[in-house]
Chain A
Amino acid sequence: MGLDEFFVTGEPLIYAGMVAITLVSGAIIFLLTYFKKWKWLWREWLTTVDHKRIGIMYILSALAMLFRAGSDALMMRTQLAFPDMNFLNAQHYNEIFTTHGTIMIFFMAMPFLIGLMNIVVPQQIGARDFAFPYLNALSFWSFFFGAMLFNVSFVIGGAPDAGWTSYTPLAGDIMSQGPGQNFYLLALQLSGIGTLATGINLMVTILKMRAPGMTLFKMPIFTWSTFITMFIIVFAFPILTIALALMTIDRIFGSHFFTLAGEGLPMMWANLFWMWGHPEVYIVILPAFGIFSEVIATFARKRLFGYTVMVWSIILIAGLSFLVWVHHFFTMGAGAFVNSIFSVTTMAIAIPTGVKIFNWLATLYKSRIRTTTAMMWALAFIPSFTIGGITGVMLGMAAADYQFHNSYFLIAHFHYVLIAGTVFGCFAGLVYWYPKMFGHKLNERIGKWAFWLFVIGFHICFLPQYFLGLDGMPRRVFHIVPEWFNLNVISTIGAFGMGLGFAVFVYNIYYSYRYSEREQTGDPWDGRTLEWATPTPVPEYNFAVVPHVKEHDAYWDMKQKGETIYDESKVEPIHMPNSTGQPFIMSAIMFFASFALVFEWIWLAVAGLVTILVTMGIRSFDYDEGRHIDVEEIKQTERSARGL
């Protein structure tokens, strides 16, 4: 294979990408060397098993991926702004909408939420760590290297172009030649392993590590939503694992699961994909629901209305999420009976979701609302998400779906739910927990600018798309006809508004790092749940003394009663795990093995696999039992953190 086959050539935009990658990596390497930070990077970050740091790395990566996939989105919108645009050609357009969707779901939304969970969940339940800190680091690094594997595809080998759903036979080896589709398969497989491990890890953490007194129905609602989400992950991700593996084997080893030859069944891919894919939608929305519930309760200064009902509706939604997958292909000939069943189950999801909406409204009713930035994201979420939900029910009517399917109406729907739900949720959560993570708030004034730009841009971008869809504009086209011109231009303007909002958001991070007042107390919002009981910066062991929980909203309860959670006389040595470079190294090896398989260099891939097995074996002999932090050190840490 020649170099010109290895690197993607002939596309000015991609050359620009190559230059950008080289420059950015060069700059990072230079800065790390210049400031002698390599050791620091390795010791404090790459080898850490501290859930708070891992959470921060998740969120940073997710923001970078939001930038990448957001650039894809802006390129698509530019191409679609005017009839006869020649900004992108058909092939490039296909690649971009594929990577946009894939990255947003797998490498932006999920890691962002998992990052927040990493930081918050142990603190909310009064725990010192994850159940399996080592595994947690492994999860992060396998996600990270998976994301990198996916991202190199556009400069090396060529990006996948069969859509984020990768339907067969289009995605099979006959119609999608070259390594692009392999990148999709192996990158998702690699990061999927990490997701499954996180699922197990957080489930055990929540089941086994809650502070004494915290019964399941005293758990904060974000922890509840995390717990249920992990259930979905544990049962849905194996389906994706198998689907990806089967397609990989089809493509590389010539089996016939999804091929037209050999009596394979291309439709089986659609089924497997959406049996995972629909639950996946709830994997990214339920945690966001949890975040909004926390934010609304805190800034309405009220206990969440209907807590128990909220919990049960999450559970119901999770259960139903496995029973609706066929609504993604009503038009592909399943027959009236099957379609009707799935139509009914789909609409049933609206019931528990509606219940949640009314409970949020009831929490706000007659409360004293503080309109902080985090709260504004939550308030904007309610009406916006409702629009997405209602149009979802419209799509759920099988007969009507013959009209809406694969049109811009659908595009508008899922962006209304994904952005108004997940992305607003991520932003709300980031702003809300930011002081816990970094010891200072984000600037509120700049934050509100980002908020208004993004939210207004969002509606300008996606509301017209409903009407474009009704007008008959199909999705995945790279040219528009003059009749669709007006609404498309508006939509593109909105998209750039969102881009601007995101830029202001990121600027706010820089600005606040420089100028924001440092936090003293650890409880900047007058919070209700236990994560606000830890001081800032949060010590690596979170709680010097394990709290005893009596009420729901444990910390609020303690504050009302004038209790504190820190009692110096109760401090005992704390056991913590040691840092280790193994998760990083193992994931790096998996990256190389997967890369080899992408190019079908079988022997190299096998060598990589063997190396991974050997490292696992070595790990099995590793009896590292961690270390103890002694009482004196804890007292000192607490004194300085609490300003005593």
Chain B
Amino acid sequence: MSAHEENTTPLEYQTEDAQMNILGFWIFLAAEMALFGTLFATYAVLFGRTADAPAPMELFEPGTTLVMTLILLTSSFTCGIAVHEMRRGARKSMMTWLTITLALGLSFLGFEIYEFYHYASEGASLQSSAYWSAFFILAGTHGVHVTFGIGWMILLLMQLAQRGITSITSRKIFIIGLYWHFLDVIWIFIFTGVYLIGMVV
């Protein structure tokens, strides 16, 4: 590789290994799309099948979900800044931005747990009807992904503290960035397809 190219290719793409990892992760995300697509489809099919449980319209709270959406969108933004800082080689600032992302992710989860708990206390739980099963599994799968992402990010922060920005750590950070943005995209679908539609229909 010529010196010129080395300067323009981002750090995370510089080794062949890293390129393969990133491509592999894109394909993994395609599989995740199929996975969430299936969950959305089951949700759509089971929509309205609430049996004796309350209807979504009675329970969904526009305020909470809007706040959750804003939190997650912001966290995607801060995660983007972190990757940007990584490319500048600014480790400290990058770790700060990642930590902010992490905090936002955690508060999102906090809201989600509160929300689930609240619904359950109003008589809408996983076991109450087909609709609510679909709702909890769809939103819950997203939540589990967020949880997993948080754990992963903590591990990466530790590795960054140990090793700094190398071709390997930068590749890992870039990949978790993709993952985090992906979860944001999925959430947008949940926000519109589940909450907004659920509030009006």
Contact = CB atoms under 8 A, between A and B. Distances in A.
A253 B38 contact: no
- A239, A255, A257, A623 interface centre (most CB from chain B within 10 Å): A255
A201 B134 CA distance: 31
B34 A234 contact: yes
Given A234-B31, A242-B38, A255-B137, A208 B20 contact: yes
Interface string A577-589: 0000000000000
Given A200-B31, A208-B20, A208-B23, A254 B127 contact: yes
Interface in A226-243: 234-239, 241-243
Nearest to B48: A263
Interface in A47-105: none
A71 B35 CA distance: 36
B127 A617 contact: no
A131 interface: yes
B132 to A, nearest CB: 8
A203 B136 CA distance: 33
Interface in A250-280: 250, 253-257, 259, 261-265, 268, 272, 275
Contacts of B110: none
A477 interface: no
B69 to A, nearest CB: 24
B14 interface: no
Contacts of A261: 51
Interface string B86-117: 00000000000000000000000000000000
B49 interface: yes
Nearest to B136: A255
Contact of A268 (B42, B131, B137, B156): B42
Q: Give the size category of B's interface with A.
A: 35 or more
A268 B133 CA distance: 14
A620 interface: yes
B46 A235 contact: no
Given A254-B127, A256-B130, A620-B159, A268 B45 contact: yes
A234 B128 contact: no
B39 A242 contact: yes
A446 to B, nearest CB: 43
5 contacts: A199-B31, A238-B38, A239-B34, A256-B133, A621-B155
Interface of B: 16, 19-21, 23-24, 27-28, 30-32, 34-35, 37-39, 42, 45-46, 49-51, 126-131, 133-134, 136-137, 151-152, 155-156, 158-159, 168
Interface of A: 131-132, 196, 199-201, 203-204, 207-209, 234-239, 241-243, 245-246, 249-250, 253-257, 259, 261-265, 268, 272, 275, 613, 617, 620-621, 623
